[in-house]
Amino acid sequence: MSYPQLLTAEKKLADAKKLLSLPHIVVICGSTRFMTEMNEADLRETKAGKIVVKPGTDMKSPHEPWSAPVEAEALKARLDGLHRAKIRLADEVLVVGDYIGDSTRAEIAYARSLGKAVRFTHPEVDLDA
């Protein structure tokens, strides 16, 4: 007797996105030093009919919520978790910029561990290509 396989959360999410006829979802990753380039990539991907999610803030720019080191560290941890959730939600990752730091490298590894497609605006920086 065979038993039906239980659906994973990822499979349930993929099925729900199909049932809702959602457009392809792309998450933009990369160093926040490339925020201008991320905005341009957002425009191109949106114009192509995709839902785009990307970092919502640049903590390298001075701002009151992260002016104190302790608060900045806690906020960065929360934002990193939020960005990983964006990666789980997305169908594909677009890495922007010609530099890959430790955080972006970790995001790429996480996306690939989930079986997400990963594209690069600068393919030469893909160390796994």
At 42-74, the pLDDT tens digits run 999 999 999 999 998 876 776 677 677 778 888
Give the span between the Cα atoms of 15 and 36, in whole angstroms.
34
Give the span between the Cα atoms of 42 and 50, in whole angstroms.
9
Q: What is the mean pLDDT of the chain?
A: 89
- The pair of three-digit structure tokens given for residue 110, joined into one six-digit string: 């996480």
Q: Is residue 114 part of a domain?
A: yes
Backbone torsions φ then ψ of 87, nearest 5 degrees: -65, -40
Indicate which CATH number applies to the domain containing 45.
3.40.50.450
Give the span between the Cα atoms of 29 and 93, in whole angstroms.
7
Does residue 1 carry a pLDDT above 70? no
Q: How many domains does the chain have?
A: 1
> Of 14 and 120, which is predicted with more confidence?
120
> Of 72 and 121, which is predicted with more confidence?
121
Q: Is residue 106 part of a domain?
A: yes
Residue 49's domain comprises 23-56+63-123
Give the span between the Cα atoms of 54 and 94, in whole angstroms.
9
* pLDDT on residue 28: 98
